[in-house]
Every structure is written in C-alpha cells, then in structure tokens.
Amino acid sequence: MIKMDTEGAESLVIQGPKNVLANNPDVVIVSEFCPSTIMATGGDAHAFLQDISGIGFSIFEIDERRGRLAPRTIEKLLQVYTVSKNNGTNLVFSKKQL
C-alpha cells in the first residue's frame, strides 16, 4: 500500500515508480485528489487520472458519509472536482475489485 499526500504533486510522484506500479498487481494507492493543487504544482488532473488508469488501476472514491468505496470514472471525478470549485476528495487506486 502506498499513501500519497503530496499537496498536488501526485502526478509527478507516480512517474518515478511507474514501471513498479504497472508490474505489481497487488499494490493499492491511497491519494488525495484536488485538481487546483495539482495545477498549482504544474500538473494536470486529467493526465494524472489517465496515467494511473492507463497502467491498470481502477479508481474508487472514499465515500466517508456512507463508509464505503465507490467506483468512479475519470469523467465523473473531473465534473465534481474542479479547479474553479477548489475542492477535492480522497481516492483509492487498485488493480483488484475492492
């Protein structure tokens, strides 16, 4: 398990171990997701989500109200969490169904 709390640098952080992440079916990543902080570090929220899903990860949002993980699409996340709203959430990335 990898916990990322990099204040928007998530897209940069996954570039280093990308091959390890791509080749490890058991790794689970927990990460904040806030498009405005990703943009502030020079990253792109859409590219980050595409990069991580492109190496085989499914995306789940931590639904704190219901106490469960909810599957999410990139499109849905980018509709709800935007730079203009300056909002974010916590995500879990996994290659296995959770």
Structural tokens at position 78? 């980018």
Q: Is the separation of the CB atoms in 41 and 13 below 8 Å?
A: no
- Tokens 């190496």 -> residue: 55
pTM for the whole structure: 0.91
Q: Is the separation of the CB atoms in 53 and 74 below 8 Å?
A: yes
Strands in 28-33's sheet, in edge-to-edge order, are: 2-4, 28-33, 89-94, 58-63, 68-71
pLDDT digits (tens, 9 = 90+) for 36-88: 999 999 999 999 999 999 999 999 999 989 999 999 999 999 999 999 999 99
Structural tokens at position 61? 């949002």
